[in-house]
Structures are given as C-alpha cells and as structure tokens.
Amino acid sequence: MIGVRPLRLLVSDADEIQRERGIDEREAIRRQQPSAAAAREGNKRRRRRNDPAIEETPTLHLFVYDADAWTEVAKYLNGRDLVRLSLVNRWFNRLIAEQSIWKHAFLRDLHVPPPSHVSFPWNRLYASAFDGSHAYTFRQGDSHIDWVRIGAFYFDSTVALLSEKLPPPRKLPRPEDDPVKTIEAAGTCLLTNARSGIWIADLQLVRCPVCNLSTCEGTMQVLDTRHAELFLEEGFKDGSWVYEDIGSHRIEEPSAAAAAAIFDVKHLAGPCTAGVLDAKAWMGKQDDWQPKARLSLHAVAVNTNLQPNQGDQTFE
C-alpha cells in the first residue's frame, strides 16, 4: 500500500499537469484567432481593396493636383475661366499664375505667332487685349460711339504701308519720300519706324469732327490699330507721349466707298496678303452699307460703301 499511494499521486499530478497544459494551448489558440468583430473589419478591408469605385479615389486625388494635367486643361479655357479657376484655392492660384498658360491663351485667342520678345507679363498683355478697353477709352471719350474688334496681325519688319485705296497703287511711295506729300498725292505713305510684333486692329465709330454738311449723319469710321503692348506703356498711360498727324487727304468729289488698310511691306507680295488685296471678293455689294473688314497675318483692311454724298472724305 505504501508503494501504490505515491504512484496514484504521480498519476494524478500528471493528469493535472496535462489538463493545465491543454487549457494553456487552447487559450493560446483562442488569442491567435481574430474575434468576430475583427474578422468583419478584415472583410471590409478586403472589400475596399476589391471595390473599383473605391480604388478611383486616390487616382482622382492625384489628378486634381497634377500640374501637368491641369496645365493641359488650361489650354482650352478662355481668360475668364482661367481667372475663375485661380480662385478655387491656393494651389490653382499658383498654377494659373504660370505665364506659359497666359502666353498660350493670348496667342491662341489672337491667332498670331509668338514674338521674339515682350516687355510685359503675358497675363497683363492678355488683360489689356481683352478687358474691353480701346484707344478712345483713354483719349477723346466724348466723341466715341461704338467699336468692334477686327483681330490681330503681325509685323515682321518695321516698314508699314498705309493706304486709302484697295488695292494700293502699283507705284508705291519710297521710304525717303515725304509722307505728307504722298498722302496728298495718292492717299498712301510708308512708315519706316513701325514697331515690330503683334498689333491689334479695331473699327471705331466716332462723331465726325470734320464735316458739317446737312446730309451727313455726323459719324466717322476709324481703323484703329495699336501695338499689343501700347496700353501698358507708362508714357501712354500718363499722357506724356506726344502724337502727331502724319497727313490728310481730302476728296472734294462724290465717293463710292471709304477704305483704309495697313500692310507689312515685307509680306505685301506674299500669299497670306493676297486675300486682303483682292478687295472685290470681300467688299460687299454697292448697296450694302455695312462696313466690311479683312484680316491676314500681316495686313488689315476695312471698307464701307457710301450712300450718295458730296465727297469730303478724309484720310489721316
């Protein structure tokens, strides 16, 4: 009996140890297994990774703030839309401040090639061209009635031909000729100090300061052209620049039409100017009183058929 009792104790102790070991192993397994809530959360994560709609979110976020993508989008926006986009947030404000965007918009909307040099930022050039201002906004505003934008053209050279006749006379004035005399004689002149680059052309309707005939409506049409940078020049804005009339040509007999044209002499015989020189193709019928304009890359011209009159046409 003495030998059996310790044996029972040993067996009993072994069983107890085995039971405790089993409990510890089950506890370890239970701890390793995720809970039901954790399993559900894991399933949600897997569903998120497999959901295409949710996958697009980071891609969309990257696109919203991708400078290259939005620079490309900006090429299709006009000036007002670019300003609106710049007000969205600081990121877009910095992006739209990039001058290459405004340069593209300026050249695109005016349909002209890039000049070799500009003296002002492109966003300011765009604003001065499309903010609705014109020459009579700054000077002689009381005489102004209405205006319309013709477009823009480009001076490669510094020599300009001004003519009141379409097409111009075959015999052109020479650079050394006196403009006053050539205007009086033939209604044409050469200017040898024109500023090269982009020019903007408008047609202005103003009150006529010349004639006081009872048959006159008291209005005058003006072909108004300016360099694209003119309105930004300090000398123009503060009025310190001095202007002078080159000359005038008065016609004292009835005139069927009134015309004015400006050509870059370098391209006068070029194919791009042929459409402007072919005046009969675009002037309109004799009983059409609406002014007509023709624009090319290096020239601009306007013509208005006149009702019966007593002459007194002035070219300046």
Instruction: For the chain, 316 residues long, give each residue's pLDDT as a single digit of tens.
Output: 434 443 333 334 445 545 555 555 556 555 555 555 555 555 555 554 454 444 444 554 545 678 899 999 999 999 999 999 999 999 999 999 999 999 999 999 999 999 999 999 999 999 999 999 888 888 777 888 999 999 999 999 999 999 999 999 889 999 899 999 999 888 999 999 999 999 999 999 988 876 665 666 678 889 999 999 999 999 998 889 888 888 887 777 778 888 999 999 999 999 999 999 999 899 888 888 899 999 999 999 999 998 776 655 555 5
DSSP symbols for 298-313: TEEEEEEE--S----E
149 & 69 share domain: no
Say whether 274 sits in a helix, a strand or coil.
helix
Containing structural domain, residue 195: 132-315
139 & 257 share domain: yes
104 & 142 share domain: no
Model confidence, pTM: 0.75
For residue 50, being part of any structural domain is answered with: no
118 & 160 share domain: no
Query: Contact 187/163 with Cβ under 8 angstroms?
Result: yes
22 & 163 share domain: no
Of 77, 101, 128, which residue constitutes the final position of a domain? 128
Say whether 224 sits in a helix, a strand or coil.
strand
137 & 269 share domain: yes
Query: Contact 203/222 with Cβ under 8 angstroms?
Result: yes
CA distances, 269 to each of 79, 96, 112, 154 (Å): 35, 41, 19, 15
CA distance 218 to 212: 7
The single-letter code of the amino acid at 175 is: P
167 & 295 share domain: yes
Number of Cβ atoms within 10 Å of the Cβ of 204 = 19
Per the structure, how many domains does the chain have? 3
Number of Cβ atoms within 10 Å of the Cβ of 181 = 12
12 & 81 share domain: no
Q: Which among 100, 144, 164, 139 is positioned nearest to 226, based on CA atoms?
A: 139
Residue 147 in tokens: 């205006």
103 & 170 share domain: no
